[in-house]
Amino acid sequence: MKIDLEQIRELLTVVSSTDVTELTIEFGDQKITVKKAPAVVAPAESKPIVVKTEHLAPVAPLPKLSQPAPPPEAPTADAPPQPPASTENGNGNYVEITSPMVGTFYRSPSPDSPPFVQVGDRVSVGQTVCIIEAMKLMNDMPAEVGGKVVKILVENGTTIEYGQPLFLVDPKG
């Protein structure tokens, strides 16, 4: 049996939609390993799954694939949707735009490019406000709320955590 690029894409889709953090498939003396960063940093130890498939034919090395970040998970029927966190301030409520993953925060698409947003800029829902690099993949970070950017809470090139506030936005601004 020969595995093709479409099967690899299906494998990546399956892994990204499960709690598995590492999957290794062996083809005789060759193997493919798929790893993903956990959605939430947890102290529990996860063990990789190893699948030995002696009957599969060896395949050529795969080209590097750049996968976009998976869309945010839809709330389940049991859990009501949660609004973005807000911070009380003398001028009203500010809404935090938080990181959906662990990675490195970048304010612009390249070192020579201007930042996506500056303090005082108006943003709309879905507008890219930064890039988060995770596992060598660049993920555009869309604004969760529209309004005026009142504060940028993270320095460019800083390592960030899941759920860490990145921007404060005044939805009335």
| Digit-coded pLDDT (tens) for 92-144 | 589 999 999 999 999 999 989 999 999 999 999 999 999 999 988 999 999 99
Section 143-158 average pLDDT: 94
Q: Is the pLDDT at 50 greater than 90, yes or no? A: no
Query: Within 10 Å of residue 132's Cβ, how many Cβ atoms?
Result: 20
Is 80 exceeded by the pLDDT of residue 4? Answer: no
Q: Please say if the pLDDT value at position 172 is more than 70.
A: yes
Q: In which residue are the tokens 């990181």 written?
A: 99
Q: What is the CATH number of domain 86-170?
A: 2.40.50.100
3-state secondary structure of 14: helix
Percentage above 90 pLDDT, the chain: 41
* Terminal CA-CA length for the chain: 59
Kindly tell me if the per-residue pLDDT of 28 is higher than 70: no
> To the nearest whole percent, how much of the chain has pLDDT over 70?
54
| Burial class of residue 74 (count of CB atoms within 10 Å of its CB; 0-12, 13-18, 19+) | exposed
**Cα within 13 Å of Cα(91), Cβ side:** 10
Question: Domain residue spans in the chain?
Answer: 5-52, 86-170
Residue 76 has pLDDT above 70, yes or no: no
Q: Residue 93 gets which letter from DSSP? A: E
